[in-house]
Amino acid sequence: MRPGMSKWMILLMAAVFLTAGSSFAEKIKIEKADDLPRHTYKIEIKALELLESDDAVLALAAEVKKDMLSDLDKYDIPDKTTLKEFYGSLGAIALLEKQYDEFLKYNALMIDLEEKEALKLTSGLFSRSIVAAVKSGDEDFAAALKREYAARVNELPYEVVQDEIKSDKGRAEMLTQNLLTGLIESRVQPTLDQTDGEMSKDIAMRLLGTSQGLRNYIPYTSIVVEVLAAYLDAHQVEKEDIWAAREVTLQEGDGGTPVVVTIWDSGLDTDIFTGHLWVNGEEVPGNGIDDDNNGYVDDVNGMAYTLHTDKTPELLYPIGDIQADRAKLQRQMKGLTDLTANIDSEESAEIKQKLGTLDRAAVQPFIEDISVYGNYAHGTHVAGIAARHNPHVRLMASRLTFGHKLIPECPTLEQARKDSAATLETLAYFKKYGVRVVNMSWGGDLASVESALEANNAGGTPEERKALAREIFEIGKQSLYQGIKDASEILFVTSAGNADNDVTFDEFIPSTFDLPNIMSIGAVDQAGDETGFTSFGKVDVYANGFEVLSYVPGGDKMSLSGTSQASPNVTNLAAKLLAVRPDLTVAQVRDLIEKGCDEKKAGERSVKLINPKKTMDLLSKL
């Protein structure tokens, strides 16, 4: 206590200080991801040169760290996924700086926010082992690292973490210096070439994350593989599959009513679904004429648009003659799909091995070639799930065309308006021809538009780019929202997304649309456990999105994973309800699906698993 100061004066000063402090320290509330500030950074050297320079990496890391800490201090960020990204990035920087206690602090903060139990147990496990090995002082660092990592892995409950462990093992088998640097050279350097070395925080963190991986992960992947392989060998028990017992099968002669279901996706191989296709009886097949004057030529089983939203009669994405390479393309597509969904499979193991042996220059064309086949096959696979065990379904094709380049095309207002007009025209088509259910296993977000603008050095300054991205995004968002709202007699079923994020905070559409005639679907695995990849935030129900068997063009069958596969499982159930009771309203269909769900908890969130048998039993009591 300073001389001459009374107790009451001290209390008064403390009160004033605390009051002033709370006022000045009040944080700005962030309602959505787009509210966060944009930060930019500049480097004077090539991206690969930066990765090789400790001094350049640490200089960039210091700039990014300063901005991230400032943002955390200034903004109230309620979204757990965004906070996890902040803490994960700060943890990666701490490892680069060899600030190991700081890494442990950020890793602990990240884990505290994790609601998926498997990720809570496995996030940062290897990096924590690195820190423990460093702190052990063992002269044989590799031996210490293996010991520390094995001790942590062997404590994990297999029934909870098995899918994550398989995924981690596969990732270690795939990642090489060539792959990481090849991705930087093909995805990051072209942008830096256009911007004279200026980049957003996202690109900066991609460089820093790659740098951290090259220094602290790639040299030790053999340890990861060895430890995880031993763990998996000791726990060879697969999860129980709950879905077969829940399946509902309708029969041809059971008096069901045909129900029109649209697969609004990347295209449809109509030859596979002969007898179960919607048919426009006013159109003459293959004559190149718009016989019914509805604006579409030869739309006998549906309609289609090209990448730039021009009408085309081709319902299946044109890929050319692939007969000789069909089996290889299928395995590669499944491998890449499994890889992006963190699924360990024979096909993903093959693709990881291939990626791990590619020369740096071969990374981009290899991934893009597989992505083309993915566009070709996606819609047909979704359609097979939606039509399964329902002879009364009548499938209508509605083809979108997705890009497949690692560097996306540059978004423009002109194209956004053209896309918007096509969206409204498409939805009017659905209404005209009596569609009851539409499956939409796709989506997009604002951040992707902004990222594509940056990749093409378009949009001006970061703030101007942000504004342009918002304008482009809103054009598409508003037309899609209004069009679905106006089609109130149709149930729209959409995938939540595979980014393990809160779709509401990140403004992912259409899954965030809060309308009575749209349902957003998350993915669970064969046992009904939430997958590590499924997004959340606005998810109405969950369905099987793990290794779901269905058709691909040509009539072959294969298993794929993702919320793209979960969504048509709900479409399938809705179509069966309507086949049995065509008088059901959208509200009744939705209510039956939701009331038939089995509920479980994932942290603070509720996971409602569809149960087709229970739902159909509820229908019988109406």
What stretches of 268-345 show up as alpha helix (H) in DSSP? 326-340
Measured CA distances, 506 to 35, 209, 396, 536, 597 (Å): 10, 21, 31, 11, 27
How is the beta sheet containing 393-399 ordered, strand by strand? 311-312, 302-305, 393-399, 259-265, 437-440, 491-495, 518-524, 541-544, 605-609, 598-602
Q: Which two tokens stand for residue 359?
A: 């020369």
Q: What is the dihedral of CA 69, 72, 75, 76, to 10 degrees?
A: 180
CA distance 605 to 62: 36
Quick one: what percent of the chain has pLDDT higher than 90?
A: 74
CA pair distance 375, 508, nearest whole angstrom: 20
Residues contacting residue 619 through CB under 8 Å, at least 6 positions apart = 577, 580, 581, 592
- Helix, strand, coil % over all residues of the chain, rounded to 5: 55, 15, 35
| pLDDT of the residue at 200 | 95
pLDDT, position 365? 85
Give the contacts of 14 (CB within 8 A, at least 6 positions apart). none
From CA 111, how far away is CA 88, in angstroms rounded? Answer: 10
Separation between Cα atoms, residue 334 and residue 330, nearest integer Å: 6
Instruction: Return contacts of 244-248, CB within 8 angstroms, 24+ apart.
Output: 245/613, 246/610, 246/611, 246/612, 246/613, 246/614, 247/389, 247/612, 247/613, 248/389, 248/573, 248/576, 248/612, 248/613, 248/616
Nearest to 188 by CA among 211, 221, 217, 216: 211
Contact between residue 278 and residue 433 where contact means Cβ atoms under 8 Å apart: yes
Name which of 550, 528, 552, 553 is nearest 541 in CA terms.
Answer: 528
Neighbouring residues of 592: CB distance < 8 A, sequence distance ≥ 6: 577, 584, 615, 618, 619
Note if the bond before 510 is cis, omega within 30 degrees: yes
Q: What is the pLDDT of residue 341?
A: 61
Residue pair 472/412 in contact (Cβ under 8 Å)? The answer is yes
- At 434 the pLDDT is 98
> Is the four-CA dihedral 503, 504, 505, 509 of positive or negative sign?
positive
- Helices 563-580, 363-387: axis angle to 10 degrees equals 20
Q: Are 173 and 353 in contact (CB under 8 A)?
A: yes
| CA 96, chain centre distance (Å) | 28
**Distant-in-sequence, close-in-space partners of 430: CB < 8 Å, separation ≥ 6:** 262, 396, 398, 438, 487, 490
Residue type, 402: F
For the chain, residues with pLDDT lower than 50 are: 1-24
**CA-based angle 394:589:564, to the nearest 5?**
60
Cα distance between residue 89 and residue 210, in whole Å: 11
What letter does residue 271 receive in the DSSP assignment? G
* Cα–Cα distance list, 453 to 14, 403, 449, 478 (Å): 51, 15, 6, 20
**Burial classification of residue 8, based on how many CB atoms lie within 10 Å of its CB (0-12 exposed, 13-18 middle, 19 or more buried):** exposed
- All structural domains of the chain: 28-234 (no CATH), 244-592+600-620 (3.40.50.200)
Percent above pLDDT 70 for the chain: 94
What pLDDT was estimated at residue 291? 96
Phi/psi region, residue 124 (left: phi>0; alpha: psi -120 to 50; beta: rest), is left
